[in-house]
A and B are shown apart, each in its own frame.
Chain A
Amino acid sequence: MMQRCSDPVVLDMWHPVAATVELAAGVEYQTRLLGEPLSYAMSPQGLPQAWRGTQHQLPVMHAYGVLWTSLGSPPDELFEFDEFHEPDRHNVWAGSVGVHTSAPRAVENFLDMGHFPYVHTGYLGIEPHTEVKDYTVEIVNDGKEVLATGCEFFQPMGALNALGGMLMEYTYRVPHPYCSILYKSSPIDESRRDAIVIFGQAVDEENTRAHLVLSLLDDESNDRQIQAFQQLIFSQDKPILENQHPKRLPLDPAVETPIRSDKTSIAYRRWLSGLGLRYGVLPAVSDGR
C-alpha cells in the first residue's frame, strides 16, 4: 500500500477533493487524499468543511466550483483563475474521473498536443496533421507558474460547437503542481477564450481523481452534452495513462526521450524539481535531497 505523504511541499498545498455542485447540503462524504482517508461536507449554510478521523478539522476553501483542503499549512490564497468569475461565463463541472496514475502524469498529458491525432482521433486531431509547431514556454508569476503560449494545432472537432476542422491556438497554464488550465479561442467570440481546467486530486502517489471544469462563453450547448464530450475525451486518455510506466513522473530527463514539442513537459518537470516536490514523481538523481 501507499505510504503516507511526507513531502512538505505537497502537504502544505491546497488540494481539490470534490466539485461542490455534486454535494448535497449537510451530507458527509468520504475520499482519500495523499493516501489518507478524510471526510468533507457542505453545511446547509453553504460552508465547506473537511476533517480527518472523527473530528480533526482541516483547512478548507471553496473556489472555482471545487472544495479544497490541505493536510498541512496551506497559503492564504489559491492561484488566480479570473475568467471563472466573469459574469457572462457558463461554468460547468464536467465530471470527476479516477485514473490509475500519478497526478503529475495526468497533468502532463493535459499539457500535451502531440497525442491529439492518435488518442483523440477525429476530435482534437487527425492524421496527417500531426505537426506540433514551435511555441513559447516560460516560468512566470515569480516562479509560481508554467505558461505555454502560441501553441497551435489542427483540430477536426475541437469542441462541441466547433464548425469543422480549424487551426486552434492554445495557451496552457500550470499554476499548481497538480492543476492546469488551458485556454482556447472561443468559437463564439474570437477575442475571448474558453477555459478547460483539470484539478488533480492526488488520491495517493499513483492514483488521481481528475476534477474537470469548463468555463465557457457559450450558452447553447447544454451541460449534459458538455459533460459527455469531456468525458469522452478523458476516457480516451485514461487507458493510455494507465499503461504508462513508471506511474510517477520521472524528473530525470534521461529516463524518457523528450522531443522539441515536449517543451512544456520539460519545463513542467524542471519546475517540479525546482519546487523540491517529491510526491507523485521520481526525483532526478542529481536532485540530492
Chain B
Amino acid sequence: MSVTVLSGTKSGWHPIASSSDLVDRHVYQGQLFGYEFAVWRSDDGFVNIWENRCLHRGVRLSVGTNDGAELVCQYHGWRYANRTGGVTYIPAHPADANTHSSCARSYVAVERYGLIWTTLDSETSLADLEVLDVLDDGQAFPLRPIDLWVTSETTISHLERIEIGCPTLADSTKHSDLVLFVQPVDERRCVVRGVLSERPDDEAKIDVLRFYSAELGAVRDGIEKSAGVQAAPEPAAFKVHPAVEVSIGLSSATNRQAAVPVRVRRRWNTATDVVGFELEAVSGQLSTVKPGSHIDLHLPNALVRQYSVVNAPGELDAYTIGVKLDPTSTGGSSTLHGEVVVGDELLVSQPRNGFPLRRDAVHTLLIAGGIGLTPILAMAQALDHQGLPYELHHFVRSQNHIAFADRLEALGTNVTHHLALDPDETVTQLQRLISSYTDAKHLYVCGPAPMLTAARATASANEWPDHAVHFEYFANPTQQDQSSEFEIALARSAVTLPVRPGESILEVLKNAGISMASSCEQGVCGTCGVDLIEGEPDHQDVYLNDTEKRTGKRLMTCVSRAKSSRLVLDL
C-alpha cells in the first residue's frame, strides 16, 4: 500500500465534506480557513456551497431547511434558489416578490472521489483540481474523516512520516492505495480525509471503515500528543467575508438589458401547435427566475418576443418556455416553430416579473386560457412545492391542446381542465369559479383577452377587490391612440422634453439618452413603468388595474400618454 498526503495549498482546491454528508434534504455545515459554509444537495443532485449566513440578519443557513429545491432560512423564511443562491421570496412582503434580487454568496462545488471540493479563490480554475493517477473516481472509497486539534501544516509534516498497515481483515483493500487529504478548518484545526483507491466488497465495508478509523485515530492521537494538545482549542471566531458582494443584478438598468447567450437543449411538441424549448446557458449559470416571470427572446431574424418561464422552484439548469404557433405570426412564433432547432444559440434577457405571485393567500385561484398556462403553471408549481392551498383551472380546446401535460399531471387534483367550452360556456364557468370573495383569497388569470375581460368583470361583480385580482394579457387588445402632443418633465434631472404625435414617452426618453428598461413595448409586461408625480395620464396599457389607473401614480412609458399638457415623471 502506498500512502500519499495532499493538501490544497498548490491547487487551491480543498475537500469540505464527504458526499455522504449531503444526506437528502439536509444542510451540512462545512468549514475552511475559518469560514463557514452551508452545503446542501438539491433534489436534482446539484451541490450548493454558500457562505453560512443569511443575507437578511446573519442567521446560519445551515440551521435552515433544504426543501429539495430551495433553502429556507429559519429566522424569517427567506427562500434561496438552488444553483444561483438568488432570493426568490421574502415572506414579510408578499407583494414585492419581484423587487429583491440579492444572492447568497456561493462557491463552486465539485464532487470527486466521494468528497465535495471547493475553492475560495474565484480565479482558481477547475483544471487546477488535481487529477490523481492513483485514484479513479468510480472506484475511490472515502473513509471516515478524522478531526485534529492542530494546524494542517503540523498535520501534514507528521503524516508524511507515518506508516499505515494494511488491514488483515479486509482482503479486498489489500492492494488499495491510500490518499490523505488535509482540510484546513481554521487556524487551529484540520480534518484528514482518507480515500482508498479501491472500493471494498459490500460486506467488508464496515470493517474497512472501522480499521482505518482506528488507524487514523491513533495517528491523530500521536500528532496531537507530540504537538502538546490537551484540550479542544477555542473555536475560532466566525469569520465574515469583508465585503459581501450582494449582486443586485437586476436593479441597474444596464444589467437588465444585458442579454445572455443560451443554447436550445431540447425542443419538443408539447401540444398541438405548441413547441416546448429548454434553453440552457452557453456558459455560467442562468439567473434566478420567480414564478410569473418572462424573458425576452431575441430571434435569429432580429425580432424580440416575450415568453413566460415555466420553471418550478430550484429548476435553474435551463429555462423552459412554451411557444404557440400564431396563425397570424409576423415572424416570432413561426420562426421558432420553423427554424430554431436543438443546438441553436439565441440571446435572452434577464427574467423580469410583471406578474408576481403572493404566497400569503389562504387560497389561490389560478385560471389559464390556452397557452396562458405558462406563467400560471410556474405559479402552481411554486404553491404546490410550498404546500400552499390553490386550484388551477385550465381552459383549453381539447386534450391534445394541453401543453406541459407531465408537469400538470404532477400537480394532481389541484388541476382541472375545462375542455372545448364555447365563449358563453366559458363565461358561465368563470362565474361559477370566481364566486364570492373572502379575505386573503387571490386570483391570477392569464389567457386570451376576451377571457381575461370576462374574468375581471366577474371578479368585480362579485366584489373581489382590485388588489386580489392579478392578470396578464398576451397582447394589448386596446386600440392605441398616439395622436396627443404633450410635454414630460423629469423631476430628478430637471429636464423637459416634448412628446409629439406618433412618438412614445419611452422613445423620447431613450432618444434623450436616458437608460430605460423595456420589454414588450405594448403596455402588457410592466417593465417600462415609472412613477408619475403630476399630470393626468392617458394609460392605454393593460398592465395596471383599474384602481391603479384611477390613482394615476404610475404609467407605462411605452404606451401611456397625457390628457394634460404636461406630465412630471419621477426620473
Query: Does B60 contact A245, Cβ atoms closer than 8 Å?
Result: yes
Query: Does A243 contact B57, Cβ atoms closer than 8 Å?
Result: no
Closest-CB distance, A122 to chain B (whole angstroms): 15
Compute how far the CA of A127 lies from the CA of B388 in the bound complex, rounded to whole angstroms: 9
A244 within 8 A of B: yes
Query: Does B92 contact A256, Cβ atoms closer than 8 Å?
Result: no
Closest-CB distance, A202 to chain B (whole angstroms): 19
B294 within 8 A of A: no
A72 within 8 A of B: no
Q: Which chain A residue has the least Cβ–Cβ distance from B240?
A: A246
Binds B, one of A15-23, A85-93, A185-193, A257-265: A257-265
Q: List residues 316-345 of chain B with CB under 8 A from any CB of chain A.
A: none
Q: List residues 114-138 of chain A with CB under 8 A from any CB of chain B.
A: 114-115, 117-119, 127-132
Residues of A within 8 A of B60 (CB): 243-245
Closest-CB distance, B443 to chain A (whole angstroms): 15
Query: Are A244 and B59 CB-contacts (below 8 A) given A128-B361, A257-B102?
Result: yes
A239 within 8 A of B: yes
Q: Which chain A residue has the least Cβ–Cβ distance from B237?
A: A246
Residues of A within 8 A of B91 (CB): 114, 117-118, 127, 130-131
User: A228-269 CB contact bits vs B (8 Å, 1 = yes)?
Assistant: 000000000001100111110010000111111100000000
Most chain A CB within a 10 A radius of its CB, from B74, B75, B92, B359: B92
Query: Are A132 and B53 CB-contacts (below 8 A) given A118-B75, A119-B74?
Result: no
Residues of A within 8 A of B57 (CB): 244, 256
Compute how far the CA of A260 lies from the CA of B361 in the bound complex, rounded to whole angstroms: 20
Compute how far the CA of A129 lies from the CA of B440 in the bound complex, rounded to whole angstroms: 9
Residues of B within 8 A of A246 (CB): 58, 238, 240
Query: Are A256 and B388 CB-contacts (below 8 A) given A117-B91, A130-B360, A131-B360?
Result: no
The one of A119, A129, A244, A259 in contact with B90, judged by C-beta atoms closer than 8 angstroms, is A259
Query: Does A239 contact B63, Cβ atoms closer than 8 Å?
Result: yes
User: B51-92 CB contact bits vs A (8 Å, 1 = yes)?
Assistant: 001011111100100000000011111000000000000111
User: B402-440 CB contact bits vs A (8 Å, 1 = yes)?
Assistant: 000000000000000000000000000000000000001
Compute how far the CA of A83 lies from the CA of B238 in the bound complex, rounded to whole angstroms: 41
B246 within 8 A of A: yes
Q: Which chain A residue has the least Cβ–Cβ distance from B76?
A: A114
Residues of B within 8 A of A245 (CB): 53, 58-60, 238, 240
Compute how far the CA of A239 lies from the CA of B60 in the bound complex, rounded to whole angstroms: 11
Compute how far the CA of A131 lies from the CA of B75 in the bound complex, rounded to whole angstroms: 14
Closest-CB distance, B260 to chain A (whole angstroms): 25
The one of B63, B74, B93, B388 in contact with A259, judged by C-beta atoms closer than 8 angstroms, is B93
The one of B73, B93, B244, B440 in contact with A261, judged by C-beta atoms closer than 8 angstroms, is B93
Query: Does B75 contact A119, Cβ atoms closer than 8 Å?
Result: yes
Residues of B within 8 A of A250 (CB): 58
Residues of A within 8 A of B246 (CB): 257
Query: Does A132 contact B58, Cβ atoms closer than 8 Å?
Result: no
B164 within 8 A of A: no
Compute how far the CA of A239 lies from the CA of B59 in the bound complex, rounded to whole angstroms: 10
Compute how far the CA of A261 lies from the CA of B77 in the bound complex, rounded to whole angstroms: 13
Closest-CB distance, A205 to chain B (whole angstroms): 12
Query: Does A244 contact B93, Cβ atoms closer than 8 Å?
Result: no
Residues of B within 8 A of A129 (CB): 360, 440
Compute how far the CA of A259 lies from the CA of B100 in the bound complex, rounded to whole angstroms: 9
Closest-CB distance, A52 to chain B (whole angstroms): 27
Compute how far the CA of A259 lies from the CA of B90 in the bound complex, rounded to whole angstroms: 9
The one of A118, A239, A243, A247 in contact with B76, judged by C-beta atoms closer than 8 angstroms, is A118
B514 within 8 A of A: no
Closest-CB distance, B91 to chain A (whole angstroms): 4
Query: Does B56 contact A257, Cβ atoms closer than 8 Å?
Result: yes
Tell me the number of A-to-B contacts counted with CB atoms below 8 Å: 88
Q: Which chain B residue has the least Cβ–Cβ distance from A237?
A: B75
Residues of A within 8 A of B73 (CB): 118
Closest-CB distance, A107 to chain B (whole angstroms): 13
User: A254-286 CB contact bits vs B (8 Å, 1 = yes)?
Assistant: 011111110000000000000000000000000
Query: Are A260 and B75 CB-contacts (below 8 A) given A128-B388, A245-B240?
Result: no
Q: Which chain A residue has the least Cβ–Cβ distance from B100?
A: A259
Query: Does A128 contact B360, Cβ atoms closer than 8 Å?
Result: yes
Query: Are A256 and B77 CB-contacts (below 8 A) given A128-B359, A130-B360, A131-B94?
Result: no
Q: Which chain B residue has the least Cβ–Cβ distance from A130?
A: B91
Query: Does B58 contact A130, Cβ atoms closer than 8 Å?
Result: no
Compute how far the CA of A128 lies from the CA of B360 in the bound complex, rounded to whole angstroms: 4
Q: Which chain A residue has the least Cβ–Cβ distance from B360?
A: A128
B303 within 8 A of A: no
Residues of B within 8 A of A247 (CB): 238
Query: Does A256 contact B75, Cβ atoms closer than 8 Å?
Result: no
Q: List residues 518-560 of chain B with CB under 8 A from any CB of chain A.
A: none
Compute how far the CA of A240 lies from the CA of B58 in the bound complex, rounded to whole angstroms: 10
B362 within 8 A of A: yes
Query: Does B59 contact A260, Cβ atoms closer than 8 Å?
Result: no
Query: Does B53 contact A130, Cβ atoms closer than 8 Å?
Result: no
Query: Does A240 contact B359, Cβ atoms closer than 8 Å?
Result: no
Q: Which chain A residue has the least Cβ–Cβ distance from B36?
A: A245
Compute how far the CA of A115 lies from the CA of B359 in the bound complex, rounded to whole angstroms: 16
Query: Does B77 contact A240, Cβ atoms closer than 8 Å?
Result: no
Most chain A CB within a 10 A radius of its CB, from B60, B90, B91, B95: B91
Query: Does A240 contact B362, Cβ atoms closer than 8 Å?
Result: no
Query: Does A243 contact B63, Cβ atoms closer than 8 Å?
Result: yes
Query: Does A130 contact B75, Cβ atoms closer than 8 Å?
Result: no
Residues of A within 8 A of B360 (CB): 127-131
Q: Which chain A residue has the least Cβ–Cβ distance from B65?
A: A118
Closest-CB distance, B198 to chain A (whole angstroms): 40
Compute how far the CA of A261 lies from the CA of B238 in the bound complex, rounded to whole angstroms: 27
Residues of A within 8 A of B388 (CB): 127-128
Closest-CB distance, A104 to chain B (whole angstroms): 12
User: B301-314 CB contact bits vs A (8 Å, 1 = yes)?
Assistant: 00000000000000
Compute how far the CA of A33 lies from the CA of B538 in the bound complex, rounded to whole angstroms: 65
Query: Does A261 contact B56, Cβ atoms closer than 8 Å?
Result: no
Compute how far the CA of A195 lies from the CA of B77 in the bound complex, rounded to whole angstroms: 27
Query: Are A118 and B77 CB-contacts (below 8 A) given A132-B93, A245-B238?
Result: yes
Residues of A within 8 A of B240 (CB): 245-246, 255
Query: Does A260 contact B93, Cβ atoms closer than 8 Å?
Result: yes
Q: Which chain A residue has the least Cβ–Cβ distance from B61?
A: A243
Compute how far the CA of A247 lies from the CA of B238 in the bound complex, rounded to whole angstroms: 9
On B, residues with C-beta under 8 Å from A are 53, 55-60, 63, 73-77, 90-95, 100, 102, 238, 240, 244, 246, 359-362, 388, 440
Known: A119-B75, A244-B57, A244-B75. 19 other contacts (CB 8 A): A114-B91, A117-B91, A118-B75, A118-B76, A119-B74, A127-B360, A130-B360, A131-B94, A243-B59, A243-B63, A244-B59, A244-B60, A245-B240, A246-B238, A255-B244, A257-B56, A257-B246, A259-B92, A259-B93
Closest 4 CB pairs of A and B: A130-B91, A261-B92, A114-B92, A243-B60
